Structures are given as structure tokens and as C-alpha cells.
Amino acid sequence: MDLSVTIGSLHLKNPVIAASGCFGYGVEYAGVVDLSSLGGIVVKGLFLEEREGHPAPRIVETPAGMLNAIGLQGIGVRRFVDEKLPELRARNATVIVNVCGTTIDEYVEVSRILSDADGVAAIELNISCPNIKEGGIQFGCSLSGTFDVVSSVRKATRLPIFPKLTPNVTDVASFARAAEEGGADAVSLVNTFLAMVIDIETRRPKISNIVGGLSGPAIRPIAVRMVYECRQVVKIPILGMGGIVDARDALEFMIAGASAVQVGTANFVDPFIWPKLLDGMRDYLQRHSLARISDLIGTVDVESKHKEWISS
């Protein structure tokens, strides 16, 4: 059975990727997971310089999910290249770096540094973090901002670039199109949904940033719908995510149109999830007599559902 998929020029041994911010810099999990067994690892978002992020509390559980406002704490791109990348390379991990910026110049500079480093497979452009005030999501909530960041980074690197889209917009597909027009090789979606949790006894918000990003199974059907909508309007591949906890969920994203999937919050619940996802995918292929997982991408059968509805 062939689980491999291609994302532009990038060939992945399977479509299961660890999502940014939920898998550290990858090396932290090396004792638990064979990093080379994953389709890829998207490391925590990196700016040019180190960042502390927001004060605690930064996370709260919600029904079927969690709210976070970490505030993009990170070690900065140069320390990542010096301290983390060599080990990731030695462990044969397919490394995708989540690139952040407060200005377009910063996105370009971080991407340049990564292009010159050995062992980076692709860049995921984070224009969608809901938890920082400057840059980031402001680009991702504007069609021209999305185009400008993507096209500027495009000129600065030959690495594949995957802008990561925010779901906090009315028409996510138009942002996928702006990214495609800017020269993106694929789009990642979705980042977290802007949300809020209040302690009714103290009447205070539960996290220090007041609002944060909602992730986990609670968001999955919305994320699947967004992947489906984007699939209708762009030709570039989609990396789909949002609430995946098992192989069934991952396959749902692929049938909706994703060429690969990312798994975030579920890794906090079960760090041993990765082989289970891959086994579940193989089992599905066997049950459906399919030789290649790539044959499933975008195969949602909307026509038959229409006919069924008309004849009932």
C-alpha cells in the first residue's frame, strides 16, 4: 500500500504531519516517536529574534478542544538552525519551518536564513496566528497582505512555501486564491479560531491574553468545510488540519480535498497517536481495495448526495 503524497516538489512518505506549536521543535519528541516515520514535522513558529510569548495562564480546556494564547514563544530562527536543525537532520525528519514576522521584511529575512540552512524541506508562512498584535494575522486577514507576504517570500527562496491561512475570515477560499497568485506551492489550513472563555465566579477571562485560539475536535467540521471550499478554487495542494484525532478524521480531510493532514492538539492527549493514524489509513485502503492513498484526495461525492436527495 502506498501512503506517499506529493506537495508541489516535495515528496512525503505519508500524509501525516505534526502541526506547528503542538510538537515543539520535534527533537523533544524524539524519545517517543520515530521522527523519520512521519510525513513531516512543522516546528513551532519562528521569528528573527527570540520571543517570550504571553504570561501564564496561556491554555484552558474547552468542550472538545482547547483555547491557547502562547503568543508565539520561540528561540528565534538562528538558534533553531544552530541548535535544533542538526539533530532533526540526523534523525532524517522532514522539516517544515513555521515562519512568523511582524513585517514583510522579517518574513523574507527568516525565510532567507532557512534557505541557506541544510535540512529544511519547506516553509510554512504563519500569517494566521490570532494571538499576536503586530504582523501575522493582519497580513492573513487581508487579501493584498496575503499576496504581498507570499510573493515577497517567493522571490527570496526556492524552498516550497505553504502559507497557513486563518479561518477567522468570511471567505477563506479567496485567501487561498491570493496565496496561489502570490506563488505559493500549497496552502495550510486552518489555524485556530479566535475565541474566549470566562470564569463566571471571578468574571475574569481564563487566559491572560483575554482571547485565544480554539483548536481540537470542536473545530473539525468547520475546518473540513473550509478545505472543501478551497479545493474548489485553487489548483495547488492543501494541507488540511483542525481537530484530527484518528485516521477517520484524517481521511475525511483528504476526501474533502487535502493532499496531506496535520495533527496538533491530539498530540497533547496522546503522543503515541502517530503509528495509530498510519495503521488506520492502511486499514482503510485495504477495506476499500485502494492501492494508493493519493487516489482519495478530493474524492468527496457531492453529485451522488444530490441525486439521493432529489430522489428521496
Ligand X SMILES: Cc1cc2nc3c(=O)[nH]c(=O)nc-3n(C[C@H](O)[C@H](O)[C@H](O)COP(=O)(O)O)c2cc1C
| Contact residues: ligand X, CB under 6 A | 19-22, 44-45, 66, 68, 70, 72, 98, 126, 129, 164, 191-192, 215-216, 219, 241-244, 263-266
The residue (of 243 and 257) whose beta carbon lies closer to ligand X is: 243
The Cα 84–Cα 27 span in angstroms is: 7
Cβ-based nearer residue to ligand X, 106 or 290:
106
Which of 236/261 has CB closer to ligand X?
Answer: 261
Which DSSP string do the residues of 166-195 spell out, in sequence order?
A: PS-SS-HHHHHHHHHHHT-S-EEE--PEEE
CB of 310 to ligand X, least distance (A): 35
Q: Which residues are catalytic?
A: 129
Q: Which is nearer to ligand X, 81 or 218 (CB)?
A: 218
Pairing of strands 193-195, 187-189: unpaired
CA distance 281 to 41: 19
Q: What angle do CA 134, 217, 200 make, to 5 degrees?
A: 70
- Assigned C-alpha cell, 161: 512555501
Give least dist CB 271 to ligand X, A: 14
Burial degree of 41 (CB within 10 A; 0-12, 13-18, 19+) = buried
Closest chain position to ligand X (CB): 21
The nearest distance, CB 295 to ligand X, in angstroms, is 24
Q: Which residue has the cell 481495495?
A: 289
β-pairing, 161-164 vs 212-215, is unpaired
Q: How far is the CB of 43 from ligand X (least distance, A)?
A: 8
